[in-house]
Structure 1
Amino acid sequence: MSIWTDLAGVEFRLAYVDAEGIRTRSLRAGSGEAVIFLHGTSGHLEAFVRNIPAHAAAGYSCHAIDMIGHGYTAGPDAPYRIPRYVAHVLAYMDALGIDRAHFVGESLGGWVAGRLAADHPDRVSRLTLVAPGGTVANPTVMERIRTSTRKAVEEDDIAFTRKRLELLMFDPAANVSDELVEVRHHIYHQPEFVKALPNLLCLQEMDNRLEDLLSPEQMARITAPTLIVWGAENPFGDVPEAHALNRSIAGSTLEIFAECGHWPQHEHADRFNALHLDFLSGARA
C-alpha cells in the first residue's frame, strides 16, 4: 500500500495556510463539521492517510495538519511547548474561520488537543485521544523518544528513519511502507528541521515536561465527550496509564486495541474509523 492508494477515491488537496505568520501545511478533504487531526512528536500529517477517506465520505471536513516545526510547517526559533502548539492550532482554525471542531490527537497531538479542550472548551465539540502523551513523565520513555529521533535526524542512513517508525508499530512489516519511510526521511533531513530539533524535543526534557503535563485539574475541566484509544503494546505508555486518563476525564470512554502499538489509527484503521465515526455521530457516548 502507498499513501496515494490510501487516499484513492477521495478528493483532497494539500495547501499552506498562514496561521498568524506560521506557514502551515494541511491536507483537507470533505465537507461538513470540521475534524482536525494532530500527529505525534516528530510526526507529520501522513499519519492519518488511512483515516481521511472514511471521514470525508461520512460527511466531515477533514483537516490533517503539520504542527509547528513538524513536517513542512514552519516553526519559531523557540522551544515548542504545549501552549505554543495550542496557540498555533487556534490560529489555524481562525485563519479558516473554524469556530469549533472535533479533534483527533495522536501522542503529542493528543496532549495538545487535551490542553486545548481544557482551556478553550468552546472550540472543541468531541475529543479523541489516541495513545496520548502528556499525563506522565517517564524518563525511560522520554530517552527512547529523544535518542531514536536524534539518531534518525542526525544520521544520513535511512535505516534509522525506518527504525524510528517501526518503533511505533506492533506489526512493522504490515504498517511501515518504504514510501512512509522515504517521506519521513526527507522531512528529517530538511536543514530547517535539523536546526529546530532541540526545540522539537524540548518536551523530552524533564523540567519542560513537568511544567506542561496535563494536570488533574486541567483534565477535570475537559467537558467535551471524549474517546480514548490505546494500543495494548504501546511502547510509549503502559495500559494502566490509559486507565488513569480514563478516570481523570469525566464520562470518557476507553478502547484498548490488542496487537497494537502507538499508532492505533494506522495499524487498525478500519476498526478505528468505524469506532470513531460512531463516536462522532453520537451513537457511542
Structure 2
Amino acid sequence: MEFQVKERGEFQYIDEGQGEVLLLLHGLFGALSNWEEVIATFKPAYRVVIPLLPIYEMPLTKASVPGLVAFVTGFVKELGLNEPLTVLGNSLGGHVALEYTLRNPGHVRRLVLTGSSGLFEDSMGGSFPKRGNYTFVQERVGYTFYDPNVATKELVDEVFSVTNSNSKCLRIISIARSAQRHNLSKDLGRIAAPTLLVWGLNDTITPPVVAHEFNRLIANSELHFLDHCGHAPMMERPHEFNALLDKFLRRTATQMVASR
C-alpha cells in the first residue's frame, strides 16, 4: 500500500484523511510503513499524521529522546495541529510520545502505547547488529516479532543498510543510551490523559511485565495483551490492534462529550 510522503521545510510526513488528528510515532528501526494498516483503517474518519523521525540524520548532539521530542514539537507547530491530539507510539516512538505528553499535557487528548520504551527495553535482543553480517541482522530483526516471517526481506535489507553506516550507527547508539537514561517511572503518575496500552504477549524487547508497570503507574490507563504477538502489534496483529484502538477512541470520545 502506497501513501504520499509530503514535505514541508525539514519535515517529511504522511497526512491522510480528515477529522480529529491521530499523531503516530514509529520506533528506532521503524518507518512510516509500520502504520500502514492503521492508516488504511482510520483515515476515513480521522486525520492520520505520521512524521518521519530523523533518527539517522539529526545532528549527533541532538540524537536523544529530548531531541526527538523537540523535533515532534516543531513538527506539530509547523503543521498547525492546534487541537488536542491523540498520540500513538511504538517502541521508541512510545517513549517520545510519553515525553511529549509530560511536556504538553494540555495538548494531548489521548495516549496510545504499544511496546513502548521508557521503563525498560532489551533492544535488538540484548546485542547491537553486527556490521556486515546479514544473517545476524536477519535473526535480530526476526526477534522483534513472534512470527519471524513478518520480518520481510525488505525490512531486513533496510536495517542491514543502517547498520553498515557509521554515522547512522552513532546516532542509534546515542538515542538508545538517551532512552536508557530517561527512565520515566517517577513521572508517569502526572499523565492524566486516557491511555491505551496494547502489548504483544510474546514481546521479548519490552516484555509483558513492562506493560503491567505502565498500567500501574499511569492512573487512567487500560491494558490489553495480544497472544502470538511480539514487539509491534500494529504490524503483527493489525486487525486486533485496530479493533482495540477503534473501541478506545469511540468510548473516550463519548466520555469526553458527557463530561463537558
| Aligned AA (1:110) | G
User: What is the distance in 2 between the residues matched to 1:14 and 1:190?
Assistant: 25
The residue that corresponds to 1:65 in the other structure is 51
User: What is the distance in 2 between the residues matched to 1:196 and 1:176?
Assistant: 21
The answer as to 2:75 corresponding to 1:75 is no
User: What is the distance in 1 between the residues matched to 2:6 and 2:139?
Assistant: 29
The change in CA–CA distance for 1:279 and 1:47 in structure 2 (over 3 A counts) is same
Q: CA RMSD in A?
A: 2.3
User: What is the distance in 2 between the residues matched to 1:262 and 1:93?
Assistant: 27
TM-superposed CA distance for 1:234, in Å, is 0.7
The answer as to 2:19 corresponding to 1:36 is no
Give the unaligned 5+ runs of structure 1.
none
The residue that corresponds to 1:103 in the other structure is 87
TM-superposed CA distance for 1:142, in Å, is 4.6
User: What is the distance in 2 between the residues matched to 1:15 and 1:189?
Assistant: 26
The answer on whether the counterparts of 1:24 and 1:65 sit within 8 Å (CA) in structure 2 is yes
The change in CA–CA distance for 1:200 and 1:55 in structure 2 (over 3 A counts) is same
TM-superposed CA distance for 1:179, in Å, is 3.2
Aligned pairs (5 A) from 1:9-28: 12-18=3-9, 23-28=10-15
> TM-score, length-normalised on structure 2?
0.88
TM-superposed CA distance for 1:17, in Å, is 2.8
User: What is the distance in 2 between the residues matched to 1:31 and 1:13?
Assistant: 15
TM-superposed CA distance for 1:210, in Å, is 4.9
Give the unaligned 5+ runs of structure 2.
256-260
User: What is the distance in 1 between the residues matched to 2:192 and 2:235?
Assistant: 27
TM-superposed CA distance for 1:144, in Å, is 3.3
TM-superposed CA distance for 1:242, in Å, is 1.0
The residue that corresponds to 2:221 in the other structure is 252
The answer on whether the counterparts of 2:124 and 2:141 sit within 8 Å (CA) in structure 1 is no
TM-superposed CA distance for 1:164, in Å, is 3.4
The residue that corresponds to 2:170 in the other structure is 198
User: What is the distance in 1 between the residues matched to 2:235 and 2:181?
Assistant: 30
The answer on whether the counterparts of 2:125 and 2:143 sit within 8 Å (CA) in structure 1 is no
Number of aligned positions between the proteins: 253
The answer on whether the counterparts of 1:50 and 1:269 sit within 8 Å (CA) in structure 2 is yes
User: What is the distance in 2 between the residues matched to 1:237 and 1:101?
Assistant: 25
TM-superposed CA distance for 1:161, in Å, is 4.1
TM-superposed CA distance for 1:202, in Å, is 2.1
1:65-102 Cα deviation digits (max 9, x unpaired)? 221224xxx31132522211111001111111012321
Partner of 1:49, secondary structure, is helix
The answer on whether the counterparts of 1:78 and 1:199 sit within 8 Å (CA) in structure 2 is no
Partner of 1:132, secondary structure, is coil
The residue that corresponds to 1:272 in the other structure is 241
The residue that corresponds to 1:169 in the other structure is 145
The answer on whether the counterparts of 1:143 and 1:204 sit within 8 Å (CA) in structure 2 is no
Partner of 1:50, secondary structure, is helix
